[in-house]
Structure 1
Amino acid sequence: MKIFIDSADIDEIRQAYAWGIADGVTTNPSLMKKAVDARHKKAHRLDLQTYITEILKVAKGTPVSLEVTETTADGMIRQGLALYKLFNPIARNIVIKIPINPAFKDTDTTHFDGLRAIKALADKKIPVNVTLVFTPEQALLAAKAGATYVSPFAGRMDDYIRKRNRITFEKTDYFPWQGMWKGKKPYDDNGVVSGVDLVWKCSQILKHYGFKTKVLAASLRNIRQVREAALHHADAATLPFSVIQNMLKHTKTYEGMAKFTKDIVPAYVRMTEGGTHDPSSKPAAKESRVVKGKKAVVKLARDLKTKRSVKKRKPKGKGWFEIKDVEK
């Protein structure tokens, strides 16, 4: 499973790529605002175009998603084309984020404008990451319209199911992929019992029908969700920097490091640092023997704790013999 970093913080992005674990970057207007505000608080002047250019360079050709802000098909297409034209020449790695449905309420008339924008950009060979996916059906439609990625929002789906059923929770609380049960039935949203279940259903449908569209699990809040997204065949997961950091942490890892460090002998350290051989370690004694007229250098039996047997083998030339150790 590929790992994208979900951030617009250039320092976090640099670190993730320095570790060698980042396969891409996802951003959105909220993350951009957060990054801009943070820079302003530090009294750093920020030219947004230059800032985005730096992110693209750090990403080294791996996909970087930039999101449109318009909510109509024409507006999203116009913005998508402008972003692609402006930034893609820098590192050839721009992906345009389009919402699957830009409507604000059920009575709006823009429900299908997302699909129109996806198709228009895909027809121009512009990669599209379809965001705000909350049903497998939305993922299917996005794939048919030509999406490069679909991003099911696992954490927000978990929140939605809990809120609907008046279950109190913290944002980072784990939500079982099998769902939370009331009696013999799980709480669900039209058959989807958890955010990871949503990821899995999207993946199953797209893979079964041979779509090239990749499932990019989004809104993952904790490391267990990351593990379960991988187990349920997400092609990629986009993660906050804090979640990536937590993936490395375990009490037994700390304990093991403490023990290994305590047990290190000085001679081993000198050897790994290119130092001289430990003088307290004496090499095994050697002696020369004459075997049927030929000289052979062997370790003494008292050092090897073995006995020697000498046998003749087919000569490739005169006087070829084999010296063989035999365990006592």
Structure 2
Amino acid sequence: MKFFIDTANLSEIEEAYDMGVLDGVTTNPSLMAKEGITGEENVRNHYKAICDLVDDKVSAEVIATDYDAIIREGKELAKIDDKIVVKIPMIRDGIKAIKYFHSEGIRTNCTLVFSAGQAILAAKAGASYLSPFIGRLDDISYDGLELIQQIVHIYGNFGFETEVLAASVRHSMHLVKCAEIGADVVTCPLKVITGLLKHPLTDSGLAQFLSDHNKAAGKLT
């Protein structure tokens, strides 16, 4: 499974990369605004800064919602760096744009996906990645993990090359369950990834080892 970090914070991206677990980055206008990045030129410069930190796969989201504008904006984003994946919403013109970009060899991430039917359309159009939103579905009392499992099963049936990128991952158990049911990628905040480090028995075991070491060292001296 690939780990993407869902942020526009350069320090968090660098920390995840230094851990050796980072495979890519996803961002969106809300995450850019959270970091105080505003204005078209500043946003694109920030995307370039992110690309300079990672090996590949930086999802940069279009703002446009009509076909021609999505194509224009997507092309401009793709020019920033070869690592850019153009992030496109699950709408009619978005699907048409995904088909176009696929024919041009430009990778895409179809975002705001909430049903298996939408997932089928995105794969048929040639999306590189599909982003079903687990947490947002959970918020309306629908099992987001069940949707991931359903999409993985459907894609397996027909050999679709689109990778299932589980998004809106809220906690570490979401991440583990996504791995269990076969999602290709998860994207989440850094705290979800670092949450995998934690277990009370690890903490207590380490404390005991250190205590025993200190006692033994004291006896030897």
Q: TM-score normalized by structure 2?
A: 0.93
Residue number in structure 2 paired with 1:51: 46
* Equivalent position amino acid for 2:53 in 1: V
Q: Shift of the alpha carbon at 1:52? A: 2.0
Residue number in structure 2 paired with 1:64: 58
> 1:54 and 1:76 mapped to 2: Cα distance?
23
Q: How does 1:195-274 map to 2 (within 5 A)?
A: 195-264=144-213, 265-266=216-217
For 2:161, what is the secondary structure of its paired residue? Answer: coil
Contact kept, 8 Å, 2:47 with 2:60, in 1: the verdict is no
Q: Confirm whether residue 31 of structure 1 aligns to residue 31 of structure 2.
A: yes
Contact kept, 8 Å, 2:59 with 2:87, in 1: the verdict is yes
Higher helix content, 1 or 2: 2
Residue number in structure 1 paired with 2:4: 4
> 1:68 and 1:8 mapped to 2: Cα distance?
15
Q: Confirm whether residue 194 of structure 1 aligns to residue 143 of structure 2.
A: yes
Q: Shift of the alpha carbon at 1:249? A: 1.3
> 1:49 and 1:157 mapped to 2: Cα distance?
30
Q: Shift of the alpha carbon at 1:245? A: 2.2
> 1:57 and 1:97 mapped to 2: Cα distance?
19
What is the RMSD computed on CA atoms of the aligned residues? Answer: 1.9
Q: Confirm whether residue 95 of structure 1 aligns to residue 89 of structure 2.
A: no
Q: Deviations over 1:251-302 (max 9, x none)?
A: 11110110111122449xxxxxxxxxx9x9xxxxxxxxxxxxxxxxxxxxxx
Rg (Cα) greater in structure: 1
Residue number in structure 1 paired with 2:73: 79
Q: Deviations over 1:18-62 (max 9, x none)?
A: 11111100000111111126x9xxxxxx943332221101012x2
Q: Confirm whether residue 15 of structure 1 aligns to residue 34 of structure 2.
A: no
For 1:201, what is the secondary structure of its paired residue? Answer: helix
* Equivalent position amino acid for 1:207 in 2: G
The total of aligned residue pairs comes to 216
> Unaligned stretches of 5+ in structure 2?
none
* Equivalent position amino acid for 2:86 in 1: I
Contact kept, 8 Å, 2:44 with 2:77, in 1: the verdict is no
Contact kept, 8 Å, 2:29 with 2:61, in 1: the verdict is yes
* Equivalent position amino acid for 2:45 in 1: T
For 1:263, what is the secondary structure of its paired residue? Answer: helix
For 1:36, what is the secondary structure of its paired residue? Answer: coil
Which gives a bigger RCO, structure 1 or 2 (Cα 8 Å, sep 6+)? 2
Q: Shift of the alpha carbon at 1:79? A: 0.4
Q: Confirm whether residue 129 of structure 1 aligns to residue 109 of structure 2.
A: yes
> 1:71 and 1:236 mapped to 2: Cα distance?
26
For 1:21, what is the secondary structure of its paired residue? Answer: coil
Q: Deviations over 1:182-216 (max 9, x none)?
A: xxxxxxxxxxx500001111111011100111000
> Unaligned stretches of 5+ in structure 1?
40-45, 102-111, 162-192, 268-277, 281-328
Q: Shift of the alpha carbon at 1:145? A: 0.2
> 2:29 and 2:94 mapped to 1: Cα distance?
17
> 1:24 and 1:266 mapped to 2: Cα distance?
44
